[in-house]
Chain A
């Protein structure tokens, strides 16, 4: 515990940088609340739907696409070609997950019927 506290205070003492201590604290709040909420919501998913759950969460976490887009587009006056290429590959990977994930989840869910 103490090690964590020391590490954390060290990290937060960092004043400069694009991520201010307040911003990182806010982000940690979001993380903690999302984790708690995720636990509540996901423990209610019945085993029947575990495969669709996996493909759905996969598609949803493909939202990292928005990060990839920014990098592939090269923002600001300075942008690197290398970063843009890496961003492009990331866009392809994330889009595949988003589109493939949602299409497959829909396809699976359509198959679950109560009566024949």
Chain B
């Protein structure tokens, strides 16, 4: 081995260690930044090591690629608003998975077209490559559809038709059969490209039937697949740092998927094949009374003279871009000596942690952001709970009605507080299409209108209360 090889291998080892330390830093907001800088340094070293190491024939395309990708990444990183974070993340899953798939295809092409000795394309290599390409391809298209749904290009409602699950399963089975065939006969070029095409198609069909409200789970799963595709690339190229980084990414996505499913009391299978939101229109009975509409002034007085106020944000906060307005209202209230806290449900928003980032952006200190288990005991001693664009995560049916489609889902128990104000665009139902009995409870007052607009008016009204 020459010195370049030693340097490259050492840089990979260093990168692996720094990546792990970087993720370890994320266990606390205070250590997170430093951790990320370590990871960034590791990445830079690994790239330099690679550029020096291999007997690279031409640097032209590499440099052009690095420049184009670097500029694209920088533009995205700097300009994407926090409200659009789910879309950006979906897109980056697509990019990562597509890169993995392309590396696999390029390798396969080189072997089958005589650029690399075909004898080297053994069963082991083909298995790793098959995994890489299958996962890579389905994650690419799946993430693009998720991106489309989050961005509003593709309809957010689940797209369902009769026999969908059977059709999808057959398609997946066909893909896997081709994959297994390829392990035994790696040189079968046509089955290879058919498998690739089927995997791309399967990704689309996998995500189409999933509703927007289930996006946190889907995002986590796609995260996991993209990571595992990267890890498979590591197996194909025999590179440990790829295996390590890909596995960390894959497991992170996997853990998040489990947490998200638990927060909805549903299984992953149910999310993927249940086509939630299409089945749940028949649960209106049992809801009695009328929704009570309250006036702005009335709410302002309630808030101004409260001791403790808890804000419960949902996806509606993101769509209305109301995070700064909430913060302003909280400032005014705190100025009057009101204790303000925020209750964050794990699946509020469209990706894990979405609400936390939005509120942090609006300068809400993270010491005021509370998780479900921490905040629930506090509701009985709360004067006013303000629900902003959240629906299913505060639906008491999940707790009280065993026949509800969301039965058993842990909720933020706002209905235990002395008064509940629900900020809502209109009288429509939530994304799951469920009726929410919370809105009909005597403690609840409905305040209709655009959340940002309403909150800004409330700031004014509280100041004059």
Q: Is B2 an interface residue (CB 8 A)?
A: no
Q: How large is the interface on A (under 10, 10 to 19, 20 to 34, 35 or more residues)?
A: 35 or more
Q: Of A12, A97, A114, which contacts B96 at CB under 8 A?
A: A97
Q: Among the listed B57, B80, B125, B223, which residue makes an inter-chain contact with A18, where contact means beta carbons less than 8 Å apart?
A: B125
CB of B237 within 8 Å of the partner chain: yes
Which of B70, B124, B255 lies in contact with A14, CB distance below 8 A? B124
Q: With CB as the reference atom, state the residue of chain B lying closest to A38.
A: B251
Q: How far is the CA of A87 from the CA of B352 in the complex (A)?
A: 32
Asked if B371 contacts A80 (CB within 8 A), the reply is: no
Interface string of B69-90 (1 = CB under 8 A from A): 1101110111010100100110
- Is B116 interfacial (CB 8 A cutoff)? yes
Count the A-B residue pairs with Cβ separation under 8 angstroms: how many?
A: 400
B109 proximity list for chain A (CB < 8 A) = 80, 82-83, 86
> What chain B residues lie within 8 Å of A80 (beta carbons)?
106, 109-110, 113, 115
Contact bitstring B99-113, A, C-beta under 8 A = 1, else 0: 110110111011001
Q: Is B192 an interface residue (CB 8 A)?
A: no
CB distance from A83 to the nearest CB of B (A): 4
Interface membership of chain B positions 359-384, coded 1 if the CB is closer than 8 angstroms to chain A and 0 otherwise: 01101011101010000000000000
Chain B residues with Cβ below 8 Å from A104 are 76-77, 80, 85, 88
Tell whether, in the assembled complex, residue B124 and residue A17 are in contact, meaning their CB atoms are under 8 Å apart: yes
Would A98 and B43 be within 8 Å (CB), given that A51-B85, A64-B96, A75-B55 are in contact?
Answer: yes
Contact call A67/B235, Cβ cutoff below 8 A: no
Q: Could you say which residues of chain A place their CB within 8 Å of the CB of B124?
A: 11-12, 14, 17, 19, 21, 24
What separation, in Å, do the CA atoms of A101 and B122 have in the docked complex? Answer: 35
Q: In the complex, what residues of A have CB within 8 A of residue B230's CB?
A: 61, 63-64
Contact A48 B243 (CB under 8 A): no
Q: Is the CB–CB distance between A64 and B242 below 8 Å?
A: yes
> Which residues of B sit under 8 angstroms from A75, Cβ to Cβ?
54-57
A57 to B29, CA, bound (A): 16
Query: B22 touching A60 by the CB < 8 A rule?
Result: yes
Compute how far the CA of A46 lies from the CA of B26 in the bound complex, rounded to whole angstroms: 8
Please name all residues of chain B whose beta carbon is closer than 8 Å to the beta carbon of A54 when the two chains form the complex.
Answer: 89, 219-220, 223, 252-253, 256, 351-353
Q: Are A31 and B247 in contact (CB under 8 A)?
A: yes
Across-interface contacts of B88 in A (CB, < 8 A)? 100, 104
B62 at the interface (CB under 8 A from A): yes
Bound Cα distance A76, B107 (Å): 14
Partner of B72, one of A41, A60, A96: A96
A residues with CB within 8 A of B: 10-12, 14, 16-19, 21, 23-24, 27, 30-31, 34-35, 37-39, 41-76, 78-80, 82-116
In the complex, 25 of the A-B residue pairs with CB atoms within 8 angstroms, ordered by the A residue number, are: A30-B243, A34-B243, A38-B251, A46-B371, A47-B356, A48-B366, A51-B351, A55-B89, A56-B36, A57-B223, A60-B39, A61-B245, A64-B100, A69-B47, A69-B62, A73-B57, A75-B57, A76-B55, A79-B115, A86-B105, A96-B69, A99-B73, A101-B92, A103-B73, A104-B88
